[in-house]
Structure 1
Amino acid sequence: MSVIGLANETLTTPALIDFVDQHASVLPEDVSAYVRQIYRRNVQRNERLADQLEEAVVAMNGRGITPVLLKGAATLAATPERRGVRLMSDLDIMVMPDEAEDAISALRAIGYEIHAQASRESRRWFVELIRSIDVGAIDLQQAVPGPAYCYRDAALSHCVPMSLGRGSVRIPAPTYRALMLIIHDQFQDYGYWLGDLDLRHLVELRDLNSSIGGLDWKELTSHISGGLMKNAVETQLFALAELLGVEIPQALRSRLIPRLQFIRQLMQARFPGSRVPFLAMTVLDLRNYRREASLGYAQSARRGSWSMPKANTMHFLLKMATAVRAGKV
């Protein structure tokens, strides 16, 4: 029951189907039946999401837009045989900044309404569009996940064209998809600063490594642009090796700060009350963060200097550390 409970909490219950299929003869019947039912229902839901995605893509293609599929949307298109494994709440789609208005118009023409939208001045612009007939929203974006300074070059240079039913899309190559997942968890969702684990995305990283060709570790490390990103990527890879048994090169799971971060993640998962005291670990990489952020945004003031985090930063992190977030432990 503890395994089922953790899977429910981390939104990974459908992924247990592989274990159930392999070991059904020694598992309690009710456990196998429960996992199979959740998996079957998720297959049905994700098939509807796939149909919804194809319709949206065709509409955008009609305006001359070939969108880039991110995260779960990329999984639906690239590995249809694994559609039932991943729980999804929305479809992440990226278009170029000069295509955004045409993309919104194309989606509104087929019945979507704007549910939420970031201001044009915000660093991460997005529009969330919904229809009452769908099982999920469309999260339309114009940039890859996380801070811009985490990426050395344009995402389009790492995408391959692909057909999606009647439509055409671009899908990031597996290693670049892995990079984006790591940056999403560690920086866009603040996992590196908060010590969070996202087991759903760790399972996805494992599946990417198990796909034909696997992940290219040399290529992955070639995208690392500084000390902060190196620590964040290696923290995720260390968790991938320790929790899911993925073979990671020793050089990518031997350094001290990633090891300390993983110990922190385990402690916080087992003892949630430790989350607030462990926030002190955020100062370990504050110097790296300020140096790399200043380089990324062309700000030269106090480059590489160290000081305590600002009060509003700590207030925000404290609020996030004590919030209940779906799928995070």
Structure 2
Amino acid sequence: MIRAGDAFEALVAGLRGGPIGGADVQAVIALANHTLLTPALFSALARSGAIELLPQDAREYLGFIHDCNRQRNLRLRAQLDEAVAALNRWGIAPLLIKGAIPLFLSPVNRLPSRMTSDLDICVEAAEEARARTSLEELGYAEMPGIHGMVRPQDAAILELRPSRPTGASSGFLAPELIQRDGFLVKVPPVQSRALNWILHDLLKEGDYWRGRIDLRHLHDLAQLAETEGVDWNTLRVSLPDQTVRNAIDTQLLALHAFFAIKISAESAHSPVVRFQHWRRVFTAKHPIIGAPLRLAGNLAWGARRLLRDDGLVRDSPVGLVRRIMRILFDIDQKSKI
């Protein structure tokens, strides 16, 4: 019987360039597929040479997925450049966030192996109407039930978001203007990029309460720390709210445990943080016996959303039941574990 924990540990080792070892290769690849990390796994194993230790069919499959993802990323890069150019013509320098940043900044011959689901760009509130008009001129349209603008020929949805406030109280620093090949964009400093990943997963999507792990985003944070460096201590003390700080420390503890990223001792000091980290790892490695923990976390997240009137109570009765079921039984899990 294949243990989920064995596949999890082998995938993390592979992402660090280590050999997968005696784990079931098919189970590891299945988990990589689920977490959208298959191209990144291939790249890490190829750089270290550990790819040669895999069976030939596994090497060929990983290489095929990696090559397909590179072709898709080339299309995403062209789509992003076209959108930025259109916005620039209207006097708008969009703010890039999440996966759009490495796609824009990387040379074409060194595009990241990251699987990117959509393109996220932000504009100021006063620019939003003009931004939508410029994108509509390119053929983009809003689609019912889809958060973002789409065209049939594109590889990804383009999500146009309002810019987040910056300043000491928010923890987000002012972005800097970046020019590349005549395109002008805004890019957040590395600390703000890291904070955005953490808050998106642990607070916005509730992973801190639900005990879930987005391993792809953890891998993003690890690469950010290794390539650009992140002052984790400055990041964690930038927000005064204790719950937010606990969420940040929980993610930092996972970064240290999985990818050996150096963090301050304060991040692992709190018993609450250590328990949250243990809970996330335990349910990831033991999904069956850890199910009660996951259900308790889902109940806590659902109760928090109801208490905050986070859109649930405004839903129709049928819609409310569906959303509650999605939360309780992890139907909305997507690529998380």
TM-score (norm 2): 0.78
Cα 1:64–1:141, aligned 2, differ >3 Å: closer, same or farther? same
Query: How many pairs does the alignment contain?
Result: 296
Q: Is the 8 A contact 1:162 1:171 kept in 2?
A: yes
Does residue 201 of structure 1 match 2:217?
A: yes
Instruction: Point out the more displaced range, 269-278 or 49-58.
Output: 269-278
The answer for the alignment partner of 1:96 in structure 2 is 124
Q: Quick one: distance in 2 between partners of 1:149 and 1:93?
A: 16
The answer for the alignment partner of 2:159 in structure 1 is 139
Q: Is the 8 A contact 1:78 1:171 kept in 2?
A: no
Does residue 77 of structure 1 match 2:101?
A: no
Q: Quick one: distance in 1 between partners of 2:299 and 2:239?
A: 21
Q: Is the 8 A contact 2:176 2:189 kept in 1?
A: yes
Does residue 152 of structure 1 match 2:169?
A: yes
The answer for the alignment partner of 1:261 in structure 2 is 276
Q: Quick one: distance in 1 between partners of 2:36 and 2:262?
A: 24
Instruction: Point out the more displaced range, 221-230 or 273-282.
Output: 273-282
Query: How far did residue 154 of structure 1 move?
Result: 7.9
Kindly report which structure 2 residues correspond to 1:51-62, keeping only aligned pairs within 5 A, or say none. Answer: 51-62=78-89
Q: Is the 8 A contact 1:95 1:141 kept in 2?
A: yes
Query: How far did residue 78 of structure 1 move?
Result: 2.9
Give the secondary-structure state (helix, strand or coil) at the position aligned to 1:91: strand
The answer for the alignment partner of 1:235 in structure 2 is 250
Cα 1:281–1:168, aligned 2, differ >3 Å: closer, same or farther? same
Segments of structure 1 that go 5 or more residues without pairing to the other structure are 119-126, 294-311
Does residue 109 of structure 1 match 2:137?
A: yes
The answer for the alignment partner of 1:169 in structure 2 is 185
Supply the AA of the counterpart residue of 1:28.
P
Q: Quick one: distance in 2 between partners of 1:235 and 1:314?
A: 31
Alignment equivalent of 2:35, drawn from 2, 6, 10: 10
Supply the AA of the counterpart residue of 1:137.
I
Query: How far did residue 279 of structure 1 move?
Result: 4.5
Q: Is the 8 A contact 1:194 1:275 kept in 2?
A: no
Does residue 67 of structure 1 match 2:89?
A: no
Q: Quick one: distance in 2 between partners of 1:315 and 1:192?
A: 22
Cα 1:283–1:251, aligned 2, differ >3 Å: closer, same or farther? farther
Cα 1:216–1:189, aligned 2, differ >3 Å: closer, same or farther? same
Alignment equivalent of 1:31, drawn from 49, 58, 82: 58
Query: How far did residue 224 of structure 1 move?
Result: 2.3
Give the secondary-structure state (helix, strand or coil) at the position aligned to 2:99: helix
Does residue 192 of structure 1 match 2:208?
A: yes
* Structure 1 residues 29-65: Cα deviation after superposition (integer angstroms, max 9, x where no partner): 2222222221111111011101100110111111111
Give the secondary-structure state (helix, strand or coil) at the position aligned to 1:161: strand
* Structure 1 residues 211-258: Cα deviation after superposition (integer angstroms, max 9, x where no partner): 14x111232123222110011001111111112222222221232112
Q: Quick one: distance in 2 between partners of 1:317 and 1:260?
A: 26
Supply the AA of the counterpart residue of 1:21.
R
Identity of aligned residues (%): 32
Q: Quick one: distance in 1 between partners of 2:185 and 2:121?
A: 10
Q: Quick one: distance in 2 between partners of 1:167 and 1:255?
A: 45
Supply the AA of the counterpart residue of 1:130.
V
Give the secondary-structure state (helix, strand or coil) at the position aligned to 1:94: strand
* Structure 1 residues 237-288: Cα deviation after superposition (integer angstroms, max 9, x where no partner): 11111122222222212321121112211222234343454444579999xx
Q: Is the 8 A contact 2:123 2:161 kept in 1?
A: yes
Supply the AA of the counterpart residue of 2:334.
A
Query: How far did residue 326 of structure 1 move?
Result: 1.9
Q: Is the 8 A contact 1:112 1:130 kept in 2?
A: yes
Q: Quick one: distance in 1 between partners of 2:182 and 2:169?
A: 33
Cα 1:138–1:281, aligned 2, differ >3 Å: closer, same or farther? closer
Q: Is the 8 A contact 2:84 2:183 kept in 1?
A: yes
Q: Quick one: distance in 1 between partners of 2:208 and 2:79?
A: 33
- RMSD (CA atoms): 3.1
* Structure 1 residues 133-186: Cα deviation after superposition (integer angstroms, max 9, x where no partner): 110010110044xxx89982485x431111243310001111110000000001
Q: Quick one: distance in 1 between partners of 2:268 and 2:213?
A: 17
Alignment equivalent of 2:115, drawn from 67, 83, 87: 87
Supply the AA of the counterpart residue of 1:187.
L
